[in-house]
């Protein structure tokens, strides 16, 4: 008996967002954009880089609450294959952990997967905090 493919709700906040450099992965794997959303949980965001050429954000849960804010992003519905590719891209579990969080989508709370930085990997990176916000005060990353 063939297994039924699952659809997963994923919240993206960085290089996978529309217009960002990793977004083609979502298009290639037929992810379905469902809309903009914001996390209910507060995080702080590091502004990282790859060989000083590509920038990307890292969310962390383990820093002082004074720097923590809700995070703006996008919701996608993805299949099992896309979720597995996203796990590889985010280097789960070494660099990121895939967790479930509550997000506000179209005015109501839903649960979605989110990639949160592995604190052991990123806490001592020395990367600066990302402080850019949208008009509601949520952290809103874009490649500078």
The residues annotated with a catalytic role in the active site are 90
SS3 132: coil
d(CA 59, CA 49): 14
Residue with tokens 């709370």: 109
Q: CB of 26 within 8 A of CB of 96?
A: no
What is the full DSSP assignment across 50-71?
A: ETTTEEEEEEESSS-GGG-B-B
Q: State the CB neighbour count (10 A cutoff) for residue 131.
A: 11
The alpha carbons of the chain give a radius of gyration, in whole angstroms, of 15
d(CA 117, CA 96): 4
């Amino acid at each position: 008996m063939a297994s039924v493919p699952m659809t997963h709700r994923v919240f993206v906040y960085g290089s996978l967002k529309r217009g960002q450099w990793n977004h083609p992965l979502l298009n290639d794997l037929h992810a379905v954009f469902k809309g903009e959303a914001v996390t209910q949980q507060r995080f702080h965001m590091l502004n990282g880089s790859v060989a000083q050429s590509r920038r990307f954000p890292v969310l962390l849960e383990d820093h002082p609450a004074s720097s923590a804010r809700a995070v703006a992003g996008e919701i996608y519905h993805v299949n099992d294959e896309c979720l597995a590719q996203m796990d590889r891209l985010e280097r789960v579990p070494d660099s990121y952990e895939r967790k479930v969080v509550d997000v506000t989508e179209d005015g109501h709370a839903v649960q979605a997967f989110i990639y949160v930085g592995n604190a052991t990997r990123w806490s001592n990176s020395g990367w600066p905090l990302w402080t850019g916000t949208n008009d509601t005060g949520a952290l809103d990353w874009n490649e500078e």
